[in-house]
Structure 1
């Protein structure tokens, strides 16, 4: 049975993209590891989302995000989408993607779309196009965004996040090791070794 890396993230969290990249590097060549993505909306509707023209986002990107991205060699830029999108619909779509065996590909496609291509992942047309790019039926995907089943599954996943006391994204759980924030490749590998021992 593979060792699981559980990752709680939000599609509008730049640190989550960096964490995804470092996890991918740490598990490269290891067939005994499975990554499981869990949703944690930083600002669920109707909480106002952030605006890139306000002071906070440019400041935190210049001081923290860009230096970290350069250190780890992850290409990304502050999206211009304003205000930043709500990610509830994208997470409902993630449940549909998981049903069709492409949950991980969907997760990575949305992260790269927002932080590397400046696409509005709150726009349903954009979401359907991205879903089609990874092999999903765009029409069925769009329909799933409105189906109560997927809304309920996302609600349950969000409740599980709250029960797990997730307050920071990314939060990474490997065995008994809980890491809040970005973890370097070596930290992830050691945690995997400990979990497998």
Structure 2
């Protein structure tokens, strides 16, 4: 059974949702029959990378709220992340356009390292304060998961995999995806947002039972905490 996950590197709920989904999948009886594919999505495709912008200021600007309110929201998400076993450090986070990070992820997917790429990208952005738009940084991340550093650098110099990123985004639009993370199981059931582990477990079981029985697909969506297009989380 195939599970496709649309996400953006700079989406805080995507990393949380990833970890909760992994917890559900780890205990899923039929996990060996599940194939997971990560898909690209951009919350703010026009964002200009600027390491001088504080993440709280960025959130305040896109939501039209005060910096104090933005900090409170980020503190709340940091607590959610901690409960999922993740460490967020928004004081170090660098506001960056994620397009090249997605191209990097597609390169990694070609080498069977798609999941590993997503993990190091999320950790680099939310925990380590690295610039995920910087090509040297991405080359180093690639090397850390087993990719050839020179191949990563060469790939990012051109436009390779740009069409793959755009195809993923177009497919998401066709499905009516308005925010991420967005988990699609057997093109039949969708979990939108960082749902509790139990929600992932229930949807996994339902999707698998119908997949195993060969029932036709009809997309049914379960909603949860997510980030919307425009970067609004």
Aligned counterpart, 2:166: 155
Kindly tell me: are residues 57 and 38 of structure 1, through their superposed partners in 2, closer, same or farther at Cα, counting changes over 3 Å?
A: farther
Count of residues in correspondence between the two structures: 193
Give the Cα separation in 1 of the matches to 2:91 and 2:41.
20
Instruction: Kindly name which structure, 1 or 2, has the bigger radius of gyration based on alpha carbons.
Output: 2
Aligned counterpart, 1:166: 177
Aligned counterpart, 1:4: 2
Partners of 1:51 and 1:57 within 8 A in 2: no
Query: Which residue of the other structure, out of 42, 47, 58, is the alignment partner of 2:71?
Result: 58
Aligned counterpart, 2:201: 189
- When normalised by structure 1's length, the TM-score is 0.88
Q: How does 1:15-94 map to 2 (within 5 A)?
A: 15-28=13-26, 30-46=31-47, 51-54=54-57, 55=67, 57-62=70-75, 64-82=76-94, 84-94=95-105
Kindly tell me: are residues 53 and 66 of structure 1, through their superposed partners in 2, closer, same or farther at Cα, counting changes over 3 Å?
A: closer
> What is the DSSP-based 3-state SS (H/G/I as helix, E as strand, rest coil) of the residue aligned with 1:77?
coil
Partners of 2:47 and 2:96 within 8 A in 1: no
Provide the aligned C-alpha RMSD in A.
Answer: 2.0
> What is the DSSP-based 3-state SS (H/G/I as helix, E as strand, rest coil) of the residue aligned with 1:80?
coil
Give the Cα separation in 2 of the matches to 1:146 and 1:155.
18
> How far 1:141 sits from its partner (Å)?
1.0
Aligned counterpart, 1:126: 137
Structure 1: 5+ residue runs without aligned partners? none
Give the Cα separation in 1 of the matches to 2:171 and 2:9.
18
Give the Cα separation in 1 of the matches to 2:48 and 2:177.
18
Partners of 1:22 and 1:183 within 8 A in 2: yes
Structure 2: 5+ residue runs without aligned partners? 58-66, 210-233
- When normalised by structure 2's length, the TM-score is 0.76
Partners of 1:8 and 1:37 within 8 A in 2: yes
Give the Cα separation in 1 of the matches to 2:136 and 2:156.
11
Aligned counterpart, 2:106: 95
